[in-house]
Amino acid sequence: MSKSMAAISPTALDYDPLDPVVKHEPYPYYTEMRKTDPVKWLPSLEAFGISRYDDIGTVLKDGITFSSQQFWPLLLGEYDPLPEEPPMISMDPPGHIHLRKLANKAFTPSKVNMLKDRAYKIAHELIDDIIAEHGETGEFDWAWEFTALYPVTVIAEVLGVPTQRRAEFKHWVDDILSAANRAAYGPEKLAEIAESSKNVRSFFEDLYDERKDNLGEDLLSSFIMAEVDGKKMSRNQVLSMAILLLIGGVETTTNLLGTVLVEMHRHPKTKKRVHANHDLIPPLIEEVLRFNPPVQIIFRHATKDVEIGGTSIPAGSAIMPILASGNRDEDKFEDPDTFNIDRKIDVPLMSFGQGPHFCLGNYLTRMEAKAALEVAFSRFETLEVVSDDVKWIDSYFARGPATLPVKYKAAT
Ligand code: HEM
């Protein structure tokens, strides 16, 4: 069967996360998998894909049987900036619990709310720059000139690093995350990734050494000072946490904001309603998180022989819970393939994971996204995606538009 035929009429056997057709539009494949082969061996990644909501939940809530230790090594391979100190996302109990308690303190709703004014200000500044560059009406790339810069600026401020370096930061994060596709790259690209990995490490090493003698109000300082059960974090633990926040908190929010505009373009009635009533921005964000989430897939491995959804999985196997498929599970969400910002959601979304590693940044990203969209929709009288064809980033686990030209008219 040709690739284009496969896109029209997928069967579970066709689901290969690395196939460009699947990467472009994976949802029909997930649907077929949930129906006919819910726990499926994926030869190209040598892993079991888990597609049903309940099975994904079972895996994510049991951090003993389903270890996270291989998460970072699988994702980054030899391009991990700090391989000797795994980040919390790639740790199991008891080490994970200690670090999570420390990090949690930085992400409480009250701490995040303290950043709100800055988030609005950063969004305004970026739009000022766009209007200064392109005029009162014109065209710009929403993905490159707004969404790629906004979360990285917020995180840079949270961590206490100079925001002038945000473009460099974004470039490093993009390179490091692209290490997931390392098997497909030639020596030139791999050398670039290695260079960015080295740069991130030495940047944070320098920053740590400077900051430990000049503590401030920033997150890096609070990690240096923080204590849980009388224990402080080591230098490497602080560095590892900072790098995780940079990698975990930038591309995800960038992609969410990109996809919001794609879905509004695809659903003009919703778009009209949201532009007329900004109170609909939070339900819009929730529905985009469900319908087309920035993190499609995460990684675990089985620590013992186990059975999931009737399939035997041998100890040591790699496992990929497909969060984006869980969000479309017809047993949990009514009419799951319909984009509907009025839907009543009865179960938690899978978008931020579940269980011990549930995303620490979920409140922050929702706050950031709301601020950015409120500012954008009030500063632009019109904001139109130019083309119906979306070029998605080249990844099977992260999802968002790679580029998104928009036409706009600034509000007077
Ligand atoms: C739309 C935006 C985001 C999405 C979709 C997202 C998604 C996720 C997911 C699925 C996990 C669970 C991983 C697992 O179970 O293995 C996770 C964990 C995590 N996220 Fe996010 N994330 C987002 C934004 C952020 C932001 C803004 C930050 C912080 C600046 C952040 C920090 C973290 C951290 C530290 C963890 C690890 C928690 C742990 O291991 O206990 N995330 N995220």
Instruction: Write the pLDDT tens digit of every residue in 131-184.
Output: 999 999 999 999 999 999 999 899 888 888 877 777 788 789 889 988 988 888
Q: Could you tell me which residues come within 8 angstroms of residue 158 by beta carbon, excluding any fewer than 6 positions away?
A: 115, 218, 219, 245
Give the H or E element holding residue 109: helix 109-113
Q: Does the Cβ of 290 fall within 6 Å of ligand 1?
A: no
Residue nearest to atom 32 of ligand 1 (CA): 361
Mean pLDDT confidence for 195-204 = 95
Question: Residue 2: what pLDDT?
Answer: 38
Higher pLDDT, 114 or 310: 310
Please report, for the chain, the start and end positions of each structural domain, with discontinuous segments joined by +: 38-410
Inform me whether the pLDDT recorded for 9 exceeds 60: no
Question: Residue 6: what pLDDT?
Answer: 43
Angle, CA 233 vertex, CA 74 and CA 114 arms, to 5°: 90
Look-up of token digits 């969410």: 256
Mean pLDDT confidence for 223-232 = 82
d(CA 17, CA 195): 27
Question: Residue 5: what pLDDT?
Answer: 42
Question: Residue 218: what pLDDT?
Answer: 86
Q: Could you tell me which residues come within 8 angstroms of residue 352 by beta carbon, excluding any fewer than 6 positions away?
A: 295, 358, 359, 362
Question: Residue 34: what pLDDT?
Answer: 97
Q: Which CATH number fits domain 38-410: 1.10.630.10, 3.40.50.1370, 3.40.1160.10, 3.60.40.10?
A: 1.10.630.10
Report the nearest atom of ligand 1 relative to the CA of 356: 41
* Nearest CA among 109, 65, 26, 37 for reference residue 309: 37
Mean pLDDT, the chain, whole residue set? 92
d(CA 154, CA 258): 17
Mean pLDDT confidence for 67-72 = 94
Q: What percent of the chain has pLDDT over 70?
A: 97
Report pLDDT digits (tens) over 258-294: 999 999 999 999 999 999 999 999 999 999 999 999 9
Inform me whether the pLDDT recorded for 319 exceeds 70: yes
Mean pLDDT confidence for 368-391 = 97
**Best residue among 60, 223, 252 to mutate for probing ligand 1, ranked by most atoms within 8 Å of CB:** 252
Residue nearest to atom 9 of ligand 1 (CA): 352
